[in-house]
Amino acid sequence: MVKINMILLLILPTLFMKITTGATISIPSREVRIEQFQQCPDMSNTTIVFKDIVLSMVARNIIDLSGKLQINEKIGIRQIQITFELSKCSSKQDVSTCEYYTRVKMNNVCTMIDKFKDFMKASTIPNHCPIEAGVYYLNHTQINMQQNFLPLFDSYWKVRNTLVENKKVILCVVIEFSMKKMMRKVRI
């Protein structure tokens, strides 16, 4: 333990000098590109339906989402669960290359709404549950794809997002995206 501390004491001043004199360092990052966003083909009669969705990349890893969210009946009366099911694909052209990767479930989505304040500000969706039936607008809502909740790596991915309330699927969308590792140089 003493050896490691002595080595650090010798190296730290050198690192500090290099960093403060305008050095350039490389930081690994990921580039995410949304390829497709659609309602689940096998579930066309869900309570929540996205309409007229436009996705555009406004900066690296920043996606602008605009469109309508039609809610056909009041939701959030009971606990809502969201499930993300990820599949990793060898090829985006050949769906048969996709293999199950993992599944993430989160309970009681209504208690998490306050964590998405920025997203909610750019929409007319209420920031509390229950949410009444109606048409809500997503007005250039921006999503930062760099904030990964899973350690995903370079590949083509399909994510099936499902919202369930009282054992009934109320939303199902499939998002397909590619991810590529990038090295970003930063001057300090």
At residue 151, the pLDDT reads: 60
Identify the structural domains of the chain with CATH numbers, from first to last.
Answer: 2-187 (2.70.220.10)
**pLDDT per position as a tens digit, 113-164:** 878 777 788 899 998 899 999 999 999 988 776 655 456 678 888 999 999 9
Torsion sign, CA atoms 52, 159, 120, 82: positive
At residue 91, the pLDDT reads: 83
Spatial separation of the C-alpha atoms in residues 146 and 56, rounded to whole Å: 15
Q: What is the DSSP letter of 41?
A: T
As a whole number, mean pLDDT of residues 55-71 equals 87
> Over the chain, what is the mean pLDDT?
79
> If you count DSSP H runs as helices and E runs as strands, how many of each does the chain have, helices first?
2, 8
Contact assessment for residue 68 and residue 134, using Cβ atoms and an 8 Å cutoff: no
Put simply, whether the predicted model's pTM sits higher than 0.85 gets the answer no
Q: Which amino acid is at 148?
A: N
Report residue 141 as tokens: 């809502």
Spatial separation of the C-alpha atoms in residues 2 and 4, rounded to whole Å: 5
**pLDDT per position as a tens digit, 18-29:** 333 445 454 556
**Exposed, middle or buried: residue 131 (CB in 10 Å: 0-12, 13-18, 19+)?**
buried
Spatial separation of the C-alpha atoms in residues 120 and 115, rounded to whole Å: 9
**Exposed, middle or buried: residue 47 (CB in 10 Å: 0-12, 13-18, 19+)?**
middle
Is-cis flag, bond preceding 151, omega within 30? no
DSSP letters of 59-96? ETTEEEEEEEEEE-S-B-SS-EEEEEEEEEES-SS-GG
At residue 133, the pLDDT reads: 97
At residue 146, the pLDDT reads: 65
Contact assessment for residue 28 and residue 181, using Cβ atoms and an 8 Å cutoff: yes
